Amino acid sequence: WAVTHRISHVALSFLLSGLRETYDIFSTLPKCAKTLLCTPRSSVISNMFPGQYYHLGIEWGIQFLSTNKNTVSTSIQIQIDIDGL
């Protein structure tokens, strides 16, 4: 739900916190969106002159979109960020 509807990690963590504090049935939910979504805790950052490179995982995103039954799309938008330009 959070990924499909592009809910930010901050908003999802806030929701998880509210559910945990308000309803006993949700006391076992993770405290953090990163835990719920299994976000990797480490990343591989390569040093490249004159800065660094980090690959976010385009392949994973495309595979997710192609296997998600709730998503029907004829195009894929890719965001590329380049710091320092």
Instruction: Output the pTM of the full model.
Output: 0.48
Nearest by Cα to 81 from 53, 62, 46, 44: 53
The gap from C-alpha 71 to its chain's centroid, in whole angstroms, comes to: 16
CA–CA gap between residue 74 and residue 35 (Å, rounded): 31
Residues 35-79: tens digit of each pLDDT: 888 876 677 788 888 888 777 677 777 777 777 666 666 777 777
Q: What is the CA radius of gyration of the chain?
A: 17
